[in-house]
Amino acid sequence: MKHVSKGLCRTLKIVSALMFIMGALLTTTKAINAKDDAKSSSGPEVTYFKMENGLDVVVIPDHRAPVVTHMVWYRVGAADEAPGVSGIAHFLEHLMFKGTEKIAPGEFSKIIARNGGEDNAFTSQDVTAYFQRVAKEHLPMVMEMEADRMNNLKLLEKDVLTERDVILEERRSRVENNPNSLLGEQISASLYLSHPYGIPVIGWMHEMAKLSRKDALEHYKNYYAPNNAILIVAGDVTSDEVKRLADKFYAPVKRGPDLPARERPMEPPHVSPRRVVLEDERAGKLAWQRHYLVPSFKTAPKGDSEALEMLMKVATGGTTSRLYKKLVVADKLASSAGGGYSASGLDYGGLYIYAIPSKGVTVEQIESAIDDVFEKIAKEGISELELNRARNAYIADYVYGNDSQSGLARRYGFALATGWSIQDIESYPERLKKVTVEDLQRVAAKYLDINSSVTGILIPKAKKMAEKK
């Protein structure tokens, strides 16, 4: 992201997934194609069409204020990078603000700001996205600017080297100087033995230091084209208005080469649990976490990802969860505890559990208590009351999230860019309704396999006393 990678900081793996599903539950879609005409009446009536150059366009009307959110999503992320150039997707995200023949380096964001708008970008393992939020009258301007840099990016060697220093400093400040981030990287690297999700989005420092103008332009030419992109416009617009503007500004952008399917190396069978222990003087408290290798919506058997969502809500979601009530309230073993599941990955989902042990509590005590919670669910199941409460909590969150114009744009963009279809989005509420208590018991036994996990422990290390001269 330009200057500071806020998108990277947000870590879309979980937050974006939840936001997108919120929109999926309450938003309906009306495709221009006749086969998609019959839709539910709840939520805004969203329109989809595809341009001749391959650009997918989604329009989400929201007429409460004369404001629009304009987003371009590219179906490429850190997990699509070639070996040896980790961080190039995120680096190019920064460089996209360096200008074109029409726009001088660094002027893109200044133009948006002078017109009262805001803009930024973010990179995840599976997507790279750029967005602007402006008054409706400025939509043609941002469309023209974004279409221009889709295939007219101009990179000067001095700008590339300067921005490389920026991302190196970003890694130092956000990762190297943060024990929790360092531990998280090591957990991911241990969890994924073969799949590139084990490589951090920002990249490894030694490879980032060698990223070049050539690397950036190669990534740009390979992936930045209308037939590998999705345009989302949410706000005070109609489908006809967006179509006219898209025909004017995006239609002239030439189609890029047809890309092969996004097939990445899959994980071999995991036959042994792994542990990562990091001792650091900067760590304030002992911290424990565990991550499991689990499927995403795209790769899970029918119904399993929805059941995993409900399982983690019941087991780890907030102060009413089983984990919190046992570890924090009843047994006083931890000051906090929780977890979550994200179904959003193109290849794998993310399932994690964490706890901050109370003073004097050992790692063994924490692990034993957490294992007891999930073993009980796997053996005895949960109640209908717990399942219904989890479902209702999701629905309430989705309703609140549906008030965000930019949130709507993110939900549809992230969904489509990671392989969800419009039918997948619209059928989500019905799929959620079909989850049973037996499903939760089944997926708990199936996926929370200790052999498919990595346990990470952050241990505060005593600071060394300075030697006297």
Q: Is residue 224 classed as helix, strand or coil in its secondary structure?
A: coil
Is residue 291 within 8 A of residue 454, CB to CB? The reply is: yes
Is residue 152 within 8 A of residue 101, CB to CB? The reply is: yes
Q: 24: pLDDT confidence band, cut at 50, 70 and 90?
A: very low
Give the total residue count for the chain: 469
> Looking at residues 348-354, what average pLDDT do you find?
97
Q: Is the pLDDT of residue 19 over 50?
A: no
Chain mean position to CA 117: 24
Q: In what order do the strands lie in the sheet with 67-74?
A: 28-31, 45-50, 56-61, 229-235, 67-74, 128-135, 118-123
Task: Give strand ranges (E) for 249-333.
Answer: 274-280, 287-295
Query: Of residues 119 and 45, which shows the higher confidence score?
Result: 119
Please give the mean pLDDT across all residues of the chain: 89
Chain mean position to CA 80: 15
Q: Are strands 229-235 and 348-357 parallel, antiparallel or unpaired?
A: unpaired
> Looking at residues 276-285, what average pLDDT do you find?
94
Query: Which among 250, 282, 316, 254 has a CA at the least distance from the CA of 448?
Result: 316
Confidence at residue 466, expressed as pLDDT on a 0 to 100 scale: 52
Q: Is the pLDDT of residue 63 over 90?
A: yes
Query: Which among 331, 299, 322, 339 has a CA at the least distance from the CA of 420?
Result: 299
Q: 42: pLDDT confidence band, cut at 50, 70 and 90?
A: low
| Threshold 0.85, pTM exceeds | yes
> Looking at residues 119-137, what average pLDDT do you find?
98
Lowest mean pLDDT among 211-225, 332-346, 373-387, 418-432: 418-432
Chain mean position to CA 452: 22
Helix locations, 115-264, DSSP H: 139-151, 157-171, 179-191, 205-208, 213-223, 239-249
Query: Of residues 428 and 173, which shows the higher confidence score?
Result: 173
Can you tell me the distance from the alpha carbon of 382 to that of 315, in angstroms, rounded to the nearest whole number? 9
pLDDT in tens, 187-204: 999 999 999 999 999 999
> Looking at residues 338-352, what average pLDDT do you find?
95
Q: Is the pLDDT of residue 374 over 50?
A: yes
Q: Is residue 424 classed as helix, strand or coil in its secondary structure?
A: helix
pLDDT in tens, 427-461: 777 888 899 999 999 999 999 999 999 999 999 98
Chain mean position to CA 230: 16
CATH level 2 (architecture), domain 274-460: 2-Layer Sandwich (3.30)
Torsion of CA 314, 315, 319, 324, to 10 degrees: 160
Q: Which tokens in the block code for residue 278?
A: 């990091």
Q: Is the pLDDT of residue 53 over 90?
A: yes
Is residue 112 within 8 A of residue 142, CB to CB? The reply is: yes
CATH number of 6-249: 3.30.830.10
Task: Give strand ranges (E) for 220-333.
Answer: 229-235, 274-280, 287-295
> Looking at residues 173-177, what average pLDDT do you find?
96
- Phi and psi torsions of 458, nearest 5°: -105, 120
pLDDT in tens, 291-328: 999 999 999 999 999 999 999 999 999 999 999 999 99
- Residue extents of the structural domains in the chain: 6-249, 274-460
Q: Is the pLDDT of residue 33 over 70?
A: no
Q: Which tokens in the block code for residue 167?
A: 């991302």
> Looking at residues 83-93, what average pLDDT do you find?
98
Active-site residue flag, 93 = yes
pLDDT in tens, 388-409: 999 888 777 766 767 889 988 9
Lowest mean pLDDT among 125-139, 149-163, 394-408, 452-466: 394-408
Query: Of residues 39 and 211, which shows the higher confidence score?
Result: 211
Can you tell me the distance from the alpha carbon of 71 to that of 119, in angstroms, rounded to the nearest whole number? 10
> Looking at residues 358-385, what average pLDDT do you find?
96
> Looking at residues 85-105, what average pLDDT do you find?
96
Eight-state DSSP code of residue 48: E
Confidence at residue 238, expressed as pLDDT on a 0 to 100 scale: 96
Lowest mean pLDDT among 33-47, 141-155, 332-346, 347-361: 33-47
Confidence at residue 395, expressed as pLDDT on a 0 to 100 scale: 72
- Provide long-range contacts, Cβ within 8 A and 24+ apart, for 369-376: 369/326, 369/327, 369/331, 369/333, 370/290, 370/323, 370/327, 370/337, 372/326, 373/315, 373/322, 373/323, 373/326, 374/315, 374/444, 374/448
Query: Which among 66, 63, 81, 69 has a CA at the least distance from the CA of 128?
Result: 81
C-alpha distance from residue 434 to each of 28, 240, 430, 438, 439 (Å): 19, 37, 7, 11, 9
- Phi and psi torsions of 74, nearest 5°: -105, 135
Is residue 1 within 8 A of residue 94, CB to CB? The reply is: yes
Query: Which among 374, 397, 372, 380 has a CA at the least distance from the CA of 316?
Result: 374
Query: Which among 109, 80, 410, 111 has a CA at the least distance from the CA of 220?
Result: 80
Can you tell me the distance from the alpha carbon of 337 to that of 341, in angstroms, rounded to the nearest whole number? 14
Selected catalytic residue, list 93, 185, 386, 426: 93
> Looking at residues 166-180, what average pLDDT do you find?
97
Domains 6-249 and 274-460 share a fold: yes
- Using alpha carbons only, give the angle 435, 441, 442 rounded to the nearest 5 degrees: 85
